[in-house]
């Protein structure tokens, strides 16, 4: 699972700073997408030439931890340096990582619990040509199984899930299947990305009568499966918070018992301890057990956050193709229902997303003046996710009716 990353389609591992570096060279810092890790999170380049024909190549060693499913295929590189005048400069570059860092080819699978269908306006190319890079590392027996070009199955590194792409005999339709809901996202977006590149190259010198390549999703948005990921994450957060509150209570009790014992020991006329020492030992043991429980609960929250992130990416992708959202609308939806899961102690993704969806429903998607006048409540811990799920459902319903996420000058766009 090691990969000396160099994306041939994006010459992004070449430093292209336009200012001549000075002094201490260039410091490159890496933001690796989950579940990958880098051998070095920062790299120092002593000297970078200012000649365009003499770029500096940076070898990067990345490895999959197999700890979960990916929710981003992008590595972010940030270069910081001082130019010849001594002024600080900062450049940020995104690199799309190869699929081999996330999945491996396995023998074809025909069934899985979670499915979606993507429709395109082009005849499908053979899948073994579309995913030729995955074929290179596979054993000959697996390669032979894919001669038909109509099916392709992969396993996420770490064995967390299996996913399959099936090409429909009707042409232009792809059935994507996975053993877990959130696992549909990565393989679906990878398929779309490769199809877009394939037809861009194939039709570079000609115009297709079918128009530009496009992808559509004609099924219902899988809200129930998405909401299951939301509820699992919210429950994990609540369980962690309950343990943290219990730890505070036990710590308060421990300090109180300690003070009482100290007073007994300082008393010139000692009185019986009345089992205070035993109670103190039990309280201490309870604190240790709770601390271990908190560590375990934190791991569960992290796991469910990753699951929710991938599920949210899938929701964004499906909604974009289902309702044919413009790039600007897709960006608004992604900002309103974000795939970046940020959780505080009491305020987390669910609370901030509920406020964001409320704002969207009272602005661009408002149907009338009454809805636009609804006051947004300040951020506060949620008791449940009922209202949040209702808001997401309403947003999808109004998009299905043709509403726009871009607010018009004349008022709401709800239908």
Please tell me the predicted confidence (pLDDT) of residue 184.
98
- Domain boundaries 103-219, CATH class: alpha beta
Helices 327-336 and 349-361 pack at an angle, to 10 degrees, of 130
Please tell me the predicted confidence (pLDDT) of residue 11.
39
Please tell me the predicted confidence (pLDDT) of residue 97.
95
Average pLDDT per consecutive 10 residues, the chain (415 residues; last block may be shorter)? 45 47 78 93 84 82 91 94 87 94 93 94 92 87 84 91 92 94 98 95 82 93 98 98 96 91 76 80 95 97 96 98 96 97 94 95 88 82 96 97 83 53
Please tell me the predicted confidence (pLDDT) of residue 408.
72
Coil, strand or helix at 33 = coil
Pairing verdict, β 42-45 and 21-31: antiparallel
**Concatenated DSSP letters of 67-130:** SS--S--EEEEEEEEEETTS-EEEEEEEEEPPGGGTEEEES-----SEEEEEEESSPPPPHHHH
Give the residues across from 44 on adjacent strands. Answer: 27
H-helix or E-strand containing 276?
helix 276-322
Please tell me the predicted confidence (pLDDT) of residue 22.
54
Short-list 96, 74, 97, CA closest to 1: 97
Distances in Å between the alpha carbon of 300 and those of 37, 122, 232, 303, 306? 20, 42, 10, 5, 10
Please tell me the predicted confidence (pLDDT) of residue 264.
76
Rounded CA-CA distance 359/338 in Å is 14
Give the residues across from 165 on adjacent strands. Answer: 152, 176
**Concatenated DSSP letters of 189-236:** HHHHHHHHHHHHHHTTTS--TT-S--EE--S---HHHHHHHHHHHHHH
Tokens of 87: 């002024």
Please tell me the predicted confidence (pLDDT) of residue 59.
84
Rounded CA-CA distance 314/251 in Å is 42
Q: What share of the chain is helix, strand, coil (3-state, %, to 5)?
A: 40, 20, 40
Domain range summary for the chain, segments of one domain joined by + = 26-97, 103-219, 224-401
pTM for the model stands at 0.86
Please tell me the predicted confidence (pLDDT) of residue 411.
53
How many CA atoms does the CB half-sphere of 165 hold within 13 Å? 30
**Beta-carbon contacts of residue 327 (< 8 Å; ≥ 6 apart):** none
Residue 38 CB burial class (10 angstroms; 0-12, 13-18, ≥19): middle
Pairing verdict, β 88-96 and 74-83: antiparallel
């Amino acid at each position: 699972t090691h990969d000396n990353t160099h994306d041939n389609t994006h010459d992004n591992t070449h430093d292209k700073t336009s200012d001549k570096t000075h002094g201490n060279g260039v410091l490159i810092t890496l933001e690796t997408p989950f579940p990958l890790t880098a051998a070095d999170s920062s790299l120092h380049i002593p000297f970078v030439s200012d000649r365009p024909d003499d770029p500096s190549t940076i070898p990067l060693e990345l490895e999959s931890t197999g700890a979960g499913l990916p929710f981003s295929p992008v590595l972010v590189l940030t270069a910081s340096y001082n130019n010849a005048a001594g002024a600080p400069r900062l450049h940020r570059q995104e690199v799309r990582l190869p699929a081999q860092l996330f999945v491996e080819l396995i023998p074809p699978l025909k069934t899985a619990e979670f499915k979606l269908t993507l429709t395109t306006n082009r005849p499908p190319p053979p899948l073994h040509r579309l995913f030729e890079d995955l074929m290179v590392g596979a054993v000959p027996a697996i390669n032979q199984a894919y001669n038909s070009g109509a099916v392709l199955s992969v396993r996420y590194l770490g064995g967390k899930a299996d996913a399959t792409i099936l090409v429909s005999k009707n042409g232009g339709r792809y059935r994507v299947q996975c053993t877990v809901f959130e696992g549909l996202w990565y393989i679906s977006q990878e398929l779309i990305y490769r199809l877009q590149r394939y037809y861009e190259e194939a039709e570079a010198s000609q115009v297709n009568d079918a128009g530009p390549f496009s992808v559509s999703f004609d099924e219902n948005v899988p809200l129930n499966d998405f909401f299951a990921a939301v509820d699992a994450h919210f429950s994990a957060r609540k369980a962690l918070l309950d343990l943290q509150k219990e730890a505070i209570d036990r710590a308060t009790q421990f300090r109180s018992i300690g003070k009482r014992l100290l007073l007994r020991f300082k008393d010139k006329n000692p009185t019986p301890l009345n089992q205070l020492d035993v109670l103190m030992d039990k309280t201490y043991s309870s604190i240790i057990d709770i601390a271990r429980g908190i560590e375990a609960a934190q791991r569960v929250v992290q796991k469910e956050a990753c699951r929710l992130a991938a599920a949210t990416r899938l929701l964004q992708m499906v909604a974009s193709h289902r309702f044919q959202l413009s790039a600007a609308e897709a960006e608004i939806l992604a900002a309103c229902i974000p795939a970046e899961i940020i959780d505080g102690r009491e305020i987390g993704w669910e609370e901030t997303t509920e406020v964001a969806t409320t704002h969207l429903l009272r602005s661009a998607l408002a149907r009338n003046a009454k809805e636009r006048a609804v006051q947004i409540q300040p951020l506060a811990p949620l008791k449940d996710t009922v209202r949040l799920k209702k808001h997401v459902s309403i947003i999808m319903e109004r998009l299905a009716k043709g509403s726009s996420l871009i607010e018009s000058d004349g008022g709401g766009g709800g239908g």
